[in-house]
Structure 1
Amino acid sequence: MSISVIGANKHYGDFAALDDVSIDIPAGSLTSLLGPSGSGKSTLLRAIAGLDSLDSGVIEINGRDVSQASPQQRDIGFVFQHYAAFKQMTVRENIGFGLKIRKRPKAEVRKKVDELLEVVGLEFVQKRYPSQLSGGQRQRMALARALAVDPQVLLLDEPFGALDAKVRDDLRRWLRQLHEEVHVTTVLVTHDQQEALDVSDRIAILNKGRIEQVGTPDDLYDRPDNVFVASFLGSVSRLNGQLVRPHDIRIGRTPEMTYPPEDPSLDTGVVRATVNRVVNLGFETRVELTAAATGEEFIAQITRGDQNALELAAGQTVYARATVVPKLASG
């Protein structure tokens, strides 16, 4: 089911949580709403769900105006960061609860719950209670429960935000695989750029109640519309007056070493700099530098192999050049 938001406005006193927001979310897509705290992403999600009313604007699901419809009438599954499971019910009972209150036949409920337990990989804990599950297992149970009633749309409000990094990584991969199997239109709110890049078909970046840009992860990362999008979706450095991704900066002991053999004609300007700090981060190495001419600090990311060859250390003088410079649509 597709979702269209047209001219959405929502104010809390003088604060504009949503300021003339319009967005189309294609059927079957996994779209992330990404932005800093207070950007309006959760307000937009809650408005789509019918949990918050708009001051003005229209929300359509599959072409039907649901702006005044209740959450129950919108046929939406919703998963919050802190999911409130029924503590007295087993995993199996929690997943089947929505079907039970809809008075579906027992055989249908049993079949659907069996299918979802297999999909989310919780067959072996189906008789346990929520208190006996890990955080990741509880969130998978929450997603299965939301999917049990075959919603038109699945809305996820930072569902992995309270979990540790390793569990988040595992659940991100699992969510992507789940979406490929289920194909329900999914909208994910997150402030985690890596999470959005990892799981999304499309990303909408919000800032101060407005949408800055919508597109595929590659579009937004490689062709940002403005400085805010470029700097929010991934790290950026300012080198020679230009905004550059740290991994697109080449470091050399001499100016000539910064020119790649495949394109020696690309001239974005070589900068002499001093190494402030070198941090090894597994495969990558982060190099913190200061430009000699301007005193401006910037960061480059190089491979561990390049670091082993260059043997960079604090206090050394090196040369840096951008190999790629994003073309911004606006400043």
Structure 2
Amino acid sequence: MISVIGARKNYGDFAALDDLTLEIPAGSLTALLGPSGSGKSTLLRSIAGLENPDGGTITIAGKDVTGVPPQKRDIGFVFQHYAAFKHMTVRDNVAFGLKIRKRPKNEITKKVNDLLEIVGLDGFQHRYPAQLSGGQRQRMALARALAVDPQVLLLDEPFGALDAKVREDLRTWLRRLHDEVHVTTVLVTHDQEEALDVADRIAVLNKGRIEQVGTPRDLYDRPANHFVMSFLGPVAKLNGQLVRPHDIRVGRDPSMAVAQKAGTAESAGVTRATVERVVHLGFEVRVELRNAATGDLFAAQVTRGDSEALQLQEGETVYARATLIPDIPS
């Protein structure tokens, strides 16, 4: 387990960490999610020992490491940029930490071969970093970090420099990798989809503080406040209420009914709106609408089937109603 208690870090008048406390369970994959300047990278670097907090304590597996240098914290670290040794082969890059620790040659060979197979780079041992794609270089970096059997793996936006399709593929691969090696992993990201896709738990940061910690489903379905809801996925404002675009029903009947059960949006009422734009996004359709009473813009997501049935056209009048409004504490 990683325990951060009362961590504080200031850069002049700016509080990067503001009395922050967080528990990260052993064996979990926890995402630190937040906007730029929220403190997530400072927190990760403090856990790594690359930043010295102005106050508070950090423990790893029950040991206080607050004043311990990075090389003695038993961690692996992967940055956004690969930091590969360009003059070394893939095999030598992965083996570097083991050689520094003077492990036996046969142990190094077996460990490197096993890891390259796990990360999907078997057969690439003799290539150089320049001969690999961006995704392959990042897999090599992860193998190098795992080679020394760290207690904790820290990932600082590891896929941020890659294109969208490669990021998506590597997210799936990272989740499978974690399920296989079970090392306690902390991932810094500003990508909500990445956090929801990969993590067991998400800690949402804002202005150096923790807003909410929980499973992806807990945070998405039961956000602690408006900031968490707005940051974790798209939102629309309907009659003064924050709702998810996929929880808005669109139709031509002004008396649309919604399910009568707890959590439904009876208080939201029906909103008359004008269709501004219809955007086809593959398996779903985004309908951009303007509230006829207030002039505010909002968006609804509907299925392709509903879109084809409605045959929505720009400029026509429709009616919108929320089918679910999250119960956000005041």
Name the TM tier (shorter chain): over 0.9
CA distance in 2: counterparts of 1:249 and 1:261, whole angstroms = 13
CA distance in 2: counterparts of 1:299 and 1:26, whole angstroms = 38
CA distance in 2: counterparts of 1:93 and 1:329, whole angstroms = 53
Q: Secondary structure of the equivalent of 1:123?
A: coil
Quote how far apart the aligned CAs of 1:266 are: 5.9
Residues 307-322 of structure 1: pairs in structure 2 closer than 5 A? 307-322=307-322
Match of 1:176 in 2: 175
Residue type matched to 1:247 in 2? H
CA distance in 2: counterparts of 1:281 and 1:25, whole angstroms = 37
Q: Secondary structure of the equivalent of 1:125?
A: coil
Deviations 1:125-162 (A, max 9, x none): 22100000000000000000000000000000000000
**Residue 74 (structure 1) aligned with residue 70 (structure 2):** no
CA distance in 1: counterparts of 2:71 and 2:129, whole angstroms = 25
CA distance in 2: counterparts of 1:270 and 1:12, whole angstroms = 49
| Identity in percent | 74
**Residue 45 (structure 1) aligned with residue 44 (structure 2):** yes
CA distance in 2: counterparts of 1:51 and 1:68, whole angstroms = 11
Quote how far apart the aligned CAs of 1:255 are: 2.1
Residues 175-214 of structure 1: pairs in structure 2 closer than 5 A? 175-214=174-213
CA distance in 1: counterparts of 2:116 and 2:281, whole angstroms = 38
CA distance in 1: counterparts of 2:106 and 2:239, whole angstroms = 68
The answer to whether the 8 A contact 2:265-2:325 is kept is no
CA distance in 1: counterparts of 2:155 and 2:81, whole angstroms = 11
Q: Secondary structure of the equivalent of 2:230?
A: helix
**Residue 279 (structure 1) aligned with residue 266 (structure 2):** no
CA distance in 2: counterparts of 1:128 and 1:73, whole angstroms = 31
**Residue 24 (structure 1) aligned with residue 20 (structure 2):** no
Q: Secondary structure of the equivalent of 1:315?
A: coil
Quote how far apart the aligned CAs of 1:124 are: 2.1
Which residue of the other structure, out of 252, 256, 259, is the alignment partner of 2:257? 259
CA distance in 2: counterparts of 1:211 and 1:37, whole angstroms = 14
Quote how far apart the aligned CAs of 1:105 are: 0.3
Residues 1-331 of structure 1: pairs in structure 2 closer than 5 A? 2-256=1-255, 258-260=256-258, 267=266, 268-330=268-330
The answer to whether the 8 A contact 2:115-2:147 is kept is yes
Quote how far apart the aligned CAs of 1:297 are: 1.1
Q: Where in structure 1 do 4 or more consecutive aligned residues deviate above 6 Å?
A: none
Q: Secondary structure of the equivalent of 2:223?
A: coil
Quote how far apart the aligned CAs of 1:259 are: 2.4
CA distance in 1: counterparts of 2:226 and 2:199, whole angstroms = 22
Quote how far apart the aligned CAs of 1:294 are: 1.6
Uncovered stretches (5+) of structure 2, i.e. residues with no partner: none
Uncovered stretches (5+) of structure 1, i.e. residues with no partner: none
Q: Secondary structure of the equivalent of 1:255?
A: coil
CA distance in 2: counterparts of 1:38 and 1:232, whole angstroms = 14
Deviations 1:195-247 (A, max 9, x none): 00000000011111111111110111111111110000000001011110000
CA distance in 2: counterparts of 1:84 and 1:63, whole angstroms = 30
TM-score, normalising length: structure 2:
0.97
TM-score, normalising length: structure 1:
0.97
Quote how far apart the aligned CAs of 1:271 are: 0.7
The answer to whether the 8 A contact 2:4-2:58 is kept is yes
Quote how far apart the aligned CAs of 1:295 are: 1.4
CA distance in 2: counterparts of 1:312 and 1:203, whole angstroms = 38
Q: Secondary structure of the equivalent of 2:123?
A: helix
Residue type matched to 1:289 in 2? L
CA distance in 2: counterparts of 1:266 and 1:114, whole angstroms = 56
Deviations 1:89-131 (A, max 9, x none): 1101111110011000001001101110110010122210000
CA distance in 2: counterparts of 1:197 and 1:11, whole angstroms = 30
CA distance in 2: counterparts of 1:122 and 1:294, whole angstroms = 56
Number of equivalent positions: 328
Residue type matched to 2:161 in 1? A
